[in-house]
Structure 1
Amino acid sequence: MASSLPPNVHLSKHPCLRAKLSQLRSKGTNARETKTLVHEIALLLGAEALAQLDVDPDGTDETPIGYEYPYETIDCSKLTVVPILRSGLGMVEAIQTLLPDSVSVHHLGLFREKMTLQPVEYYNNLPQSPGSVARLAIVVDPVCATGATACAAIQILKDWGVEKIIFLCVLGALPGIARAAAEWPEGTQVWAGGMDDGLTDKGMIKPGLGDVGDRLFLTIGK
């Protein structure tokens, strides 16, 4: 499958991630366990995806035994994390944990209309002043199924003015991942923890994970 992926798509091969993804797929995994697994998978995936960030020198500091060392950091002032509501909230803390400094979080509310499977935007708190536009947006959404929601988020952020997008998903379907990667290929890198081949007639990944938002927030059947 990896050989057929677009060049801006990256599929994790981390053994711990793959084992945790198998645990997450199980119908026996409860809401508390689902939350933990989504967080842990996002940590592993985020560590891979964010390895491309630049490290900047920031003077020197001193160790507890009196030795000076060069201090390195990452400029987080022009980064933002963009969770797609609801389920993207389950990945935010992992990205915040990985970054060495505080980073802004801007939410996008997008849902798929049940008949057409097309995304509908219902919430957007991206600040509109030119000086507040991030250079890099790290978009988090556990599932990329048809790719329509991912494409809508990428287009919204591109119109906002970001220079680059890193899109992270726990699991994607091959058609949806390819669609998201093609939306703005020169500005977007797509990272997936795992990938399945197809979708059901309702636009769900198969075998998939089910509805991660419902599993995280215990709203299955409502």
Structure 2
Amino acid sequence: MQYLKIEPQMQRSASDSGPLCGLPEVVSCSVNKTRGMFEFQFDPQSAGSYLHLSKNNSKVTKGKMQKCHSLPDLITAKPKTNSSNAYTILGNCAISEGKHYWEIQTGDGSFTMGVAYRSVRRDKDIGWTKKSWGLGKQKWIPSILHDSVFKALAQGEQTEVRISACPERIGVHLDYDLGSVTFTDPATQEVIHTFNVKFEEPVVPAFSLYKGSLSICSD
């Protein structure tokens, strides 16, 4: 796996306070830092009440609200209209060093995907807190010609991003030591967006799903 060399675009520091997700210790992952996919699963204990997982926890689908017995009251309580904590889920493997890469099959849904600290606030979507960074796609945002519209979300700020075509998969290149998170179209290697972050805690893959499904790609 070749990792991209990206010039810094945006400096982000990290400090936040607020309700925590109350996750257990995530599993330790042994990963080849120079090639291959970063292996993780969706963590069912972090799943919002509208999210349904496949048996092997490799696919998450937006569905009807369900009771989440394993989650704290912040998440299990009946959400208010458009409450965001019901749509967020984290990966079960933390990263604290090295270079890592994973791909997500996005389909035709609406989502935000990126990385977050394990202590991220759960009453906001990914990218709308100082402890998470994400790339968002919302199906109801109109396209202009053949462009695809995304939102780069960090620390509660958003930046519009346009690329030539909407990819079927999105690749995430994380260099923890350098402090960069780059999103690409794996089919063309087109760079969608890069965040430059001074990480202060281990991070996990993080997602907010509003419509459709997301699947972790294994090849």
| Structure with the larger strand share | 2
Q: TM-score under structure 1 normalisation? A: 0.27
| Structure with the larger helix share | 1
Structure whose alpha-carbon radius of gyration is higher: 1
Q: TM-score under structure 2 normalisation? A: 0.27
